[in-house]
Structure 1
Amino acid sequence: MSGIPRRGLVLGAAALAAPAIARAQPSWPNGPIRLVAPFPPGGSADLICRLVQAPLQASLGVPIVIENRPGASGALGTAVVARGPADGQSFVLVFDSHVVNPALNPTLGFDPEKDLRAVMLVATAPMLVTTPVAKPYRTLAEVVTAAKAGADRISFGTVGVGSLAHLTMERLQQVTGTQMIHIPYRGGGPMSTAAMAGEIDLAVASVVGLGGQVGTSLRPLAQSGATRSPMRPDIPTIAEAGIPGVASEAFWGFCAPSGVPDAVVARFNAALASALAAPAVRQPLESQGCTVVASSPEAFGRFLQEQAAIWTRVVRERHITAQ
């Protein structure tokens, strides 16, 4: 998480954006603004879009339309915005899979660095390794023991090939010398439903993605952050569970087509910062273990480059390809 301060950026982002906002063309926005959530309803990307929808409408004075475009670990919905007009009327909420999709799929159809520009890192969160309560596992160590006893026996679900949850579990298998079955889903909602039905042994996603099932139908075994989340202090980290060298955090952020003017990006960033400062938006995220960041566009751009370098290496070392 280098380069991104954790707290106190909401007001700072708005203040830094003020000069650019003053130069924004008065014609923007000139109609409804579309927020593309590249995952199905019920997942974390969809939730964040819906949390900021009303305050953005109030701030920008136009309807905010949410469009779910799931598929290809978020790449299909992201491509819609990347290939669309740079008029500032469409933004996409990218998830952690965004930084490795180019390595997974050489025929992606767009270049994230060239065709998109960073707008804001909204939030970060550790992921949870959970198991349905009907399963026998009480600790992550028990899962590893079972995996070592029977290759290909333990299954884990994530929101897609190349998602950070998937890569974290690949790294875990690498460190422990185990082999598990990866079951990719089209989003957090479908995965949680499958987990509750007992169709998979493990469900791995952010707390937001797993929703209210944690502690009810899903038993948490470990969290992926380098340290325990203050919102989930009772759940050990993967390292504390006896597996050092495995740490990661999910992230969510908005991007726009690369040609969108600086002034428009600055104004949208400021509107997002204002929305995220509101208790009605911030508290639901923090209550589920998210750290609200509300970064500047420049800081998010650097963050994306750093994350791409880290996780592309895991993709190559584990020979992961899009399925």
Structure 2
Amino acid sequence: MKTSRRWFAALALLACAWLPAQAQTQTGDWPKRQPIKLVAVFPPGGSVDQVSRILAQQLTHQLGQTVIVENKVGASGVIGTHYVIAAPPDGYSYAVVFDTHGVNPSLMPSMPYDTRKDIAPVIVIGTAPMVIATPAASEYKTFAEVVAASKAKKNISFGSVGSGSLSHLAMAMLVRRGGLDMTHVPYKGGGPLMQDAVAGHVPLSVASVFVTKPHLDSKRLRPLAVTTAKRSPELPDVPTVAESGFPGFDARAWWGVLASAKVPPEIVRRMNEEINKALQVPEVAEKLSGQGISLMGGSTEAAHAFIDQQLDTWAAVVKENNIKSE
């Protein structure tokens, strides 16, 4: 009996010694074993896809390992994010997400993962303002005029890139805070919204700088305000919503990189360091700025705090306004 106990004790000690060694083997050779996958959770051609490809090219150079982009789309990014969570937690699969990540849990009660528990935020790449614009022939020259018209009970509608999108939620928050009366017109993406906006079929459009700016440059749309707390470098003459009578208002589009919560923390930190390094490369910074993105970067802790704040903010807006997904 004593011999058996000693034998089991020896096995236990061996197991305890083996596990850290095995973990070290799995993490110590990262990223040498296989290509790294950046899963873009929206279709090719969009901002998430473009951000992913800009990062992939630079990370391939930095890491000496191929970094590929794979598009896994659907359900506002849920399908691609779930794909990464379900992948082996070895640090070779990451989701590149858009701001819908911070809204989805409030709109989709039956999501296949827990956003707060099953995901390890790696980094927030950057943020961008949305632009409230009006057709060139519109009577509105400032956002203050829109507010005054709404309070005078004039029927005003605004178009967004979709029901439950951040552009929809930002305007819902604004309407509620200002006691305004506006009608939401959801579109299926930025393309259809811009088509109707430049044709004058909807008085106001709300979409990212990336989607809106070409139509501002062509003078078919007039910008009234941006939704970030500070003015956009791409539109320095356009006031913020906060400057237009709504102090403290801040609603930003954003892009981030996520890992499964089961990925070893040291690999998540290493990936964070590599992406921060990539963001400091002038060519990469210039390409991302060309998308209208103000770079953010920072630690994994900063990414976690930012995303938690987004989840809390938009959960409250969804509940207060009884917003439903399409």
Between the aligned partners of 1:316 and 1:303, the Cα distance in structure 2 is 20
How do 1:80-95 and structure 2 match up within 5 A?
A: 80-95=83-98
**Any conservation in 2 of the 1:117–1:255 contact (CA below 8 Å)?**
yes
Deviation at 1:118, TM superposition (A): 0.7
How do 1:96-175 and structure 2 match up within 5 A?
A: 96-133=99-136, 135-145=138-148, 147=150, 153-158=156-161, 160-175=162-177
Deviation at 1:256, TM superposition (A): 0.7
Alignment partner for residue 316 of structure 1, among 319, 322, 326?
319
**Any conservation in 1 of the 2:119–2:258 contact (CA below 8 Å)?**
yes
User: If the length of structure 1 is used for normalisation, what is the TM-score?
Assistant: 0.81
How do 1:1-323 and structure 2 match up within 5 A?
A: 24-133=27-136, 135-145=138-148, 147=150, 153-158=156-161, 160-185=162-187, 187-188=189-190, 191-192=193-194, 195-196=197-198, 200-210=202-212, 212-216=214-218, 217-244=220-247, 246-287=249-290, 289-323=292-326
CA-atom RMSD, angstroms?
2.9
**Any conservation in 2 of the 1:127–1:205 contact (CA below 8 Å)?**
yes
**Any conservation in 2 of the 1:208–1:285 contact (CA below 8 Å)?**
no
Deviation at 1:290, TM superposition (A): 2.8
Deviation at 1:296, TM superposition (A): 1.2
C-alpha spacing 1:239/1:110, structure 2 compared with 1 (3 Å): same
Paired residue secondary structure (2:244): coil
**Any conservation in 2 of the 1:35–1:64 contact (CA below 8 Å)?**
yes
Give 1:5's aligned residue. none
**Any conservation in 1 of the 2:159–2:187 contact (CA below 8 Å)?**
no
Deviation at 1:254, TM superposition (A): 0.4
Deviation at 1:136, TM superposition (A): 4.8
**Any conservation in 2 of the 1:39–1:45 contact (CA below 8 Å)?**
yes
Query: Which has more radius of gyration?
Result: 2
Give 1:14's aligned residue. none
> Which amino acid letter does the alignment assign opposite residue 269 of structure 1?
N
> Which amino acid letter does the alignment assign opposite residue 47 of structure 2?
S
C-alpha spacing 1:36/1:136, structure 2 compared with 1 (3 Å): farther
> Which amino acid letter does the alignment assign opposite residue 175 of structure 2?
Q
Q: Which structure 2 segments of 5+ residues have no match?
A: 1-23
Deviations 1:173-227 (A, max 9, x none): 1133334343445554564455456554433233234453433243221011223
Between the aligned partners of 2:268 and 2:30, the Cα distance in structure 1 is 14
> Which amino acid letter does the alignment assign opposite residue 74 of structure 1?
G
Deviation at 1:96, TM superposition (A): 1.9
- Give percent identity, aligned residues only: 42
Greater Cα shift, 135-144 or 108-117: 135-144
Q: Which structure 1 segments of 5+ residues have no match?
A: 1-20
**Any conservation in 1 of the 2:122–2:272 contact (CA below 8 Å)?**
yes
